Each structure stands twice: as structure tokens, then as C-alpha cells.
Amino acid sequence: LNPRLEPLAGARRVISQCRHLLSERGEVSGTRRADEVLRAYQALDRPALVNFLSLLATEFSPPAAEVRRSADAYCSEPSAANLTRLQAAVESPRQELFRRLNMARGGMQALIEMRRHVLLGVREHPEWVALDADLSHLFRSWFNRGFLSLQRIDWSTSAVTLERLIEYEAVHQIHGWHDLRRRLEVDRRCYAFFSPALPADPLIFIEVALTKGIPDNVQLLLDPKGPLLEPAETDTAVFYSITSCQEGLRGIPFGNFLIKQVAESLQMEFPRIRTLVTLSPVPGFVDWLHSAHFNDASRPLPPGLRLLSEAATSGQDVDVRLCNDLKHELLELCAHYLLHCKQHKAPLDPVARFHLANGARLERLNWMGDTSTVGLRRSLGMTVNYSYRLDDVERNHEAYAKDYQVLASRRLRRLAAVVGGLPARRQLASFTTTKSTIRMPA
């Protein structure tokens, strides 16, 4: 036996089971068979899985001859009938395979996990693009926003679901059940979108703190020993963390509604609260700063900024003292980055993109608003408040949707305008990147 052939043999066996499942005319035994295929698939080790995905990408495609025939027919006569025939001809049998796998216990989770693998490996295996296309197509139907429900999560929620929060939280890690419990106390709120296809597993969740005044520091908010406020005494709702839970659903749009619905729900419960803000990181800032350094060798960054950006992007600890020495430059640069740096026409910063698209405006930049190791590395300790005013949200959102208008407070606009005497300003402004250091809702 040639062990190097093994992964391929294992993959081929499961592919053959898939073909069997798909050819099945009878439906009574479908669920059982789908279960078997799924178990076999999930038992594949890493190399076999890679082989399996590559086979899947090529073997369950629509038959080329029929596609060509239908395409020819349409080209010579683009009638409705010929279009319908062409549509049917080009649909991958894979889609029906995926629909049948969804009948197995745990089928949906497995398909989401499959797409996660696909997204991670598609650069290396370009043929997997076909898998991504088919899975995305199905997910767009299955996770249609019409099916999602916003649910409040609190200490009476099932442990199954709460455990997922601990596991998924990407912005400010939850350190166990004790930490979680503080985040679900009377002066906190947590909301999530759920799909009936994954009833105990949140798709995206948002954590809210009820505070007096707009906070600038996230450590104070997160401190498990921080004082409990009476909700009646608070005047501000702070969205301090938003997490997209399922990497396999990246790009499937459902996140944008969450903020608006949560804001409405909070207003219903606390009519007195008029201020809704975020306390957000600026996850693209250090990358932008760092790339500027490399991209424009003729006008290098001043040494301090260069040191900081190098440390932050290479995962080393950031020197707080040096940060503080450069406070003004950093605040101005960051304001400039948030307001003026673009990826195509949209803001370069992924968090800014998200909130501005949702109808928020840039409100305030906070110095040393997140002094955790991660916070320093992520945004050199800066945090930003985006504010949501319910009356303006829709108008802001339309303005952004139409021409990517970036709304900001006067203070921030002034700060962003200061930038001068710095090297490579124009280059910085025009630099674009696609990397984002935090998982953000699509």
C-alpha cells in the first residue's frame, strides 16, 4: 500500500458516496444516506480533505457538453425558453448535493465549516472558487434576512449558546464564565441574530454597555469588578463589541440590520437613553501607517512612527511611552486615516466602513482608549466612538450608500485637517489595502 495515495483514496471514497447520494431517486432513505456521507466526510484528515474539496470542485460541475449546447442555442436564439434551459444546464449538481447534505444531522454546520475551509484555501487552490460560488449561492437563500430573528441574550439563555459567545468573541476576548456573567448584568445588554437553521448558534452578536456619559476607555467597561449601574441612572448605550460568528458565512449579508434593530430595541426599553455610540478599534490604522513606510522609500516615516508601526504589525509589544510622545501626530494621522483614506471609494478602515454604511457618524477619537496588549498593537491604544442618532441613521446611510460620504463631528474634521508637514501624506491617503485584522460583519 502506498501511503501517499491514501488521502486521495479516502477522498475518492467519499466522493463516490456523494455521487450515490445524489443519484438516489428514492427519498425515504435520503436522510440516512446523507448522514452516512457526512460522517465519512467529517472523518477525513487534513490531506484527504484537501483532495476531497478539489475533487468536489471538478466532479460535480454541470456537464460541459450540455452547457455548450444550451449556450449555443441561446446565442443563436436568446428566447425565454432557451434562457431557462441554459439556466438549468449551468446549475452545478453540487448545489443539489449540498441541499441533500443539509438533511443530515449537523448538515448545516458542516456546510458552513466546509466554506470556511474553502475560503482559507482558495488562494492556493483556485479551482475551489466553484465551491465557494455554489455554497455562497445557497447561503444567500438560506440565511436570507427574512428568516433571521433578533434575540436578547442574558443569563437565562442556554449554556450551549453562552458557550459560543465565549468562543466567538473576537474584539474583546471573554475570559471564562465569570467574565461573561459581568457582560450580561443589569447594566449590559447583548443581542444576537439567529437563523432557524442554527437555532442555538448566533450568527452575529453585539455587546452593549449602559453608561453615564460617553466612555473613552474600554478597560473600564470590561473590568469584571467594575461597579454595577442602575439602568435607570444611565443615559448612554455603548456598542463596545460586534462579532461575526461564522467565518464560513463571510460575505453573506445580514449584519447591517443588527445595529438598527438593537438601537430600536434599546430605545423601546429605555426611552430616556438618547445617545447610542460605539467604542471601536481602528484596526486598519497601523497597517496603513506601516505600508506607507515601505511604499514611499523617498519620504520615510519619522523614526518614532516607523518603530511603532513595525512593532504593531509584527506582533511585538508596543512602547506606550513612545506612543505618548507622539500623541498629537498619532491622533491627527488617525483622524486623517479615518476620514480620508479610501479603498476604492469606501473608507479604508473596515470598522469605519461597517458603521458608516450603517448610518453612524464619526464622533470622537480617544487617546489610550484601549491599553490592552491587543489594543495597543491593534490601534496603538486609540479607540473611536461612532454615534448613531436614530433620526439620522437612515439619511446618513443613504448618503453613504449613494456616494460613500463620510460623516464626522466638527472636532474630528478639524483634527483630520491638521495633517501637514508629514511625509507621504498624499501617498498615505491614497494607499489601499484589503487586509483587515479583525473579523467584521460583512
Residue 157 or 219 having the CB closest to a second copy: 157
Q: Give the one residue of 9, 20, 45, 78 binding a second copy; rule: CB under 8 A.
A: 78
Q: Give the one residue of 5, 43, 84, 426 binding a second copy; rule: CB under 8 A.
A: 84
Nearest approach, Cβ of residue 425 and a second copy (Å):
30
Q: Footprint of a second copy on residues 286-345 (CB under 8 A)?
A: none
Residue 86 or 380 having the CB closest to a second copy: 86
Q: Give the one residue of 5, 9, 43, 81 binding a second copy; rule: CB under 8 A.
A: 81
Nearest approach, Cβ of residue 310 and a second copy (Å):
38
First to last CA, the chain: 47
Q: Give the one residue of 155, 223, 302, 426 binding a second copy; rule: CB under 8 A.
A: 155
127 binds a second copy (CB under 8 A): yes
For residue 413, give every residue at least 6 positions away whose Cβ sits within 8 Å of its Cβ, in sequence order, or none.
339
Q: Give the one residue of 5, 20, 45, 72 binding a second copy; rule: CB under 8 A.
A: 72
Nearest approach, Cβ of residue 146 and a second copy (Å):
4
Q: Give the one residue of 5, 9, 45, 58 binding a second copy; rule: CB under 8 A.
A: 58
Q: Footprint of a second copy on residues 202-231 (CB under 8 A)?
A: none
Q: Give the one residue of 53, 210, 357, 365 binding a second copy; rule: CB under 8 A.
A: 357
Q: Give the one residue of 1, 27, 421, 434 binding a second copy; rule: CB under 8 A.
A: 27
Nearest approach, Cβ of residue 377 and a second copy (Å):
29
Nearest approach, Cβ of residue 150 and a second copy (Å):
12
Q: How far is 142 from 195, CA to CA, in rounded Å?
A: 9
Torsion of CA 157, 161, 163, 166, to 10 degrees: -90
Burial 224-252 (b: 16+ CB within 10 A, else e): eeeeebebeebebbbbbbbbbbbbbbbeb
Q: How far is 205 from 259, CA to CA, in rounded Å?
A: 10
Q: How far is 359 from 442, CA to CA, in rounded Å?
A: 15
Query: CA 269 from chain center: how many Å?
Result: 28
For residue 126, give every residue at least 6 positions away whose Cβ sits within 8 Å of its Cβ, in sequence order, or none.
none
29 binds a second copy (CB under 8 A): yes
* Binding range to a second copy, per CB under 8 A, among 25-33, 41-49, 419-427, 430-438: 25-33
- HSE-CB at 34 with a 13 A cutoff on CA atoms is 22
String of DSSP letters for 285-341: HHHHHHHHHHH-TTSPPPHHHHHHHHHHHTTPPP-HHHHHHTHHHHHHHHHHHHHH-
Residue 98 or 431 having the CB closest to a second copy: 98
Nearest approach, Cβ of residue 102 and a second copy (Å):
4
Query: By C-alpha distance, which of 187, 163, 159 is closest to 174?
Result: 163
Q: Give the one residue of 159, 303, 314, 321 binding a second copy; rule: CB under 8 A.
A: 159
Q: How far is 48 from 13, CA to CA, in rounded Å?
A: 10
Binding track over 250-289 against a second copy, x by CB under 8 A: ---x--xx--x-----------------------------
Q: Give the one residue of 18, 114, 162, 356 binding a second copy; rule: CB under 8 A.
A: 162
Residue 93 or 300 having the CB closest to a second copy: 93
Q: How far is 108 from 441, CA to CA, in rounded Å?
A: 20
Q: How far is 28 from 32, CA to CA, in rounded Å?
A: 8
144 binds a second copy (CB under 8 A): yes
Q: Footprint of a second copy on residues 402-431 (CB under 8 A)?
A: 402
For residue 156, give every residue at least 6 positions away whose Cβ sits within 8 Å of its Cβ, in sequence order, or none.
none
Residue 45 or 72 having the CB closest to a second copy: 72
Count the residues of the shown chain that bind a second copy, applying the rule CB under 8 A. Answer: 76
Long-range contacts of 308-316 (CB under 8 A, 24+ apart): 308/380, 311/377, 312/286, 312/376, 312/377, 312/378, 312/380, 313/286, 313/287, 315/377, 316/377
Q: Footprint of a second copy on residues 168-207 (CB under 8 A)?
A: 176-177, 181, 196-197, 200
Q: How far is 169 from 173, CA to CA, in rounded Å?
A: 6
Residue 8 or 67 having the CB closest to a second copy: 67
Q: How far is 47 from 430, CA to CA, in rounded Å?
A: 41
Nearest approach, Cβ of residue 95 and a second copy (Å):
8
